[in-house]
Amino acid sequence: MASQSPNKGPNVPAHVPPECVGSFNLYKSPEMRPTPFGDPFAAVGKLHEGPSVFYSPETTRDGQGAWIVTSAEDQRTVLQDGTTFSSYRRIFSSAIGEDWPVIPLELDPPEHGKYRSMLNPLMSPKRIAALEPFVTAKAVELIEGLKARGTSAEIMTEFAFPLAVSVFLAFLGIPDDRLMEFVGWANELLHMGPAERTAAAHKILGFLDGMIAKRKTEPGEDFMTFLVQAELEGRPLNDQEIRSIAVLLFIGGLDTVATAIGLDLYYLARNPDRQQELRDNPDIMPSAVEEMLRAFPSVTPIRTATRDVELSGCPIRKGDLVSCPSMASSRDPAEFPDPETVDFNREDNRHTAFAYGPHRCLGSHLARRELIIALQEWFARIPPFRIKDGTAPITYGGFVFGVENLVLDWS
């Protein structure tokens, strides 16, 4: 995939030497396109046969080029240095023609650190433990529901997404009687064309604005109340700050968790022996979930260089995009012995699914618990399962790689 090209091609900036040009497109590489599932992770793992850093002329959805960083060591260098490699982007507000960052993801130091310190207590072990009974009950309800309907199901819409959205709603303090409406908004926002994205963004913001107003007069024990009452440097957050944070929690915790459930079940469906291993040793579920996060990570953090800098001999210029696919770093043989093997007992598994540095995933502990509970409850209720004959799982590329359709059969 990182084919070295002696010819630079039309979209390569003048400062990129020909020997630094390769090809990796988050949207159009064969491995990344919506496709009946091959093994995109193994394909990306092969990047380690090439250089640690190379320039790919077409990488983003709108065809922009970027430096692709494949080694875990170079990704750490980029992701730990928010001054040289900026997180400035407008992934949500650009969909509605506005210009504000989602907080804290699109902020750089020193602003980022202030918000992050304020938000860290939100994900305290105590708060996550308080959510666990809800996560368990919801997982059980969804699995029992699809089991009652038959011996096969499309698990992204019937299990993974509803679970991830429900947990978000519980986190915000919202009863989930509007669950399917939210699932629809999430789907339109993340996977549809520009018109649907814009409409969904407006609906989500309208809803969150209503919640902010409500929690100002009717406080509860939830995340929105936390934000409404929070103080930053001695002052309350304003409404724009609150919605910028709430939106990020919505988009940050949806696709990622649902995708991870989908990728794990997809792998297990193709590997009955691994299912049996988990049935025989239920205690290894936490380390199995960690290993599947390593082997099938979905997010590609992307940064913009704020100054000229050299990385592994490549001349990165101010303004260049720098992309750090976790699916590459998590299969770096320099850090993970035998990276292509999915080893449920892997030791010292410091995988990169939640990234590195100051922007490391705020929701990682919650995500882990959601995944462990989802799989534990699935295995407790569903007998050996496989991909339904005649169906082919569909995946899509992008900054969050994902699963769109996965029909499992346990007849």
160 is a contact residue toward ligand HEM (CB under 6 A): no
Tell whether residue 82 is a contact of ligand HEM (CB under 6 A): no
Euclidean distance between CA atoms 261 and 277, whole angstroms: 18
Is residue 42 a contact partner of residue 340, using CB atoms and an 8 Å limit?
A: yes
Is residue 36 left, alpha or beta, with left meaning phi > 0 and alpha meaning psi from -120 to 50? beta
* 135 part of the interface to ligand HEM, by CB under 6 A: no
CA distance 326 to 123: 23
Q: What's phi and psi for 386, nearest 5 deg?
A: -150, 175
Using CB under 6 A, count the residues that bind ligand HEM.
24
- Residues 173, 301, 339, 402: which binds ligand HEM (CB under 6 A)? 301
In terms of DSSP H, where are the helices of 34-160?
40-45, 72-79, 111-119, 125-149, 155
Q: Which stretch binds ligand HEM (CB under 6 A): 9-17, 36-44, 265-273, 348-356?
A: 348-356
Phi then psi dihedrals of residue 378, to 5 deg: -60, -50
Binding track, positions 205-234, relative to ligand HEM; x by CB under 6 A = ------------------------------
Residue nearer to ligand HEM on the CB measure, 249 or 309: 249
CA torsion, ordered 363, 245, 230, 175, to nearest 10 deg: -70
Pairing mode of beta strands 66-69, 53-56: antiparallel
* Contact with ligand HEM (CB under 6 A) among 82, 162, 363, 393: 363
101 binds ligand HEM (CB under 6 A): no
Structure tokens at 260: 């991870």
- Residue closer to ligand HEM by CB (options 182, 354) is 354
Binding residues among 304-343 for ligand HEM as defined by CB under 6 A: 326
Taking CB positions, which residue lies at the least distance from ligand HEM? 363
d(CA 323, CA 313): 16
Decide: is 401 part of the binding site for ligand HEM (CB under 6 A). Answer: no
Which are the contacts of 79, defined by CB distance < 8 A and separation ≥ 6?
85, 301, 303, 324, 355, 356, 357, 359
**Considering the complex, what minimum distance in angstroms separates the CB of residue 18 from ligand HEM?**
30
**Does residue 45 bind ligand HEM (CB under 6 A)?**
no
CB 326 within 8 A of CB 300: yes
Q: Residues 362, 373, 375, 387: which binds ligand HEM (CB under 6 A)? A: 362
Binding mask 260-299 for ligand HEM (x = CB under 6 A): x-------------------------------------xx
Q: Does 353 participate in binding ligand HEM (rule CB under 6 A)?
A: yes
Chain residues that interact with ligand HEM, rule: CB under 6 A: 87, 104-105, 116, 248-249, 252-253, 256-257, 260, 298-299, 301, 326, 353-355, 359, 361-363, 366-367
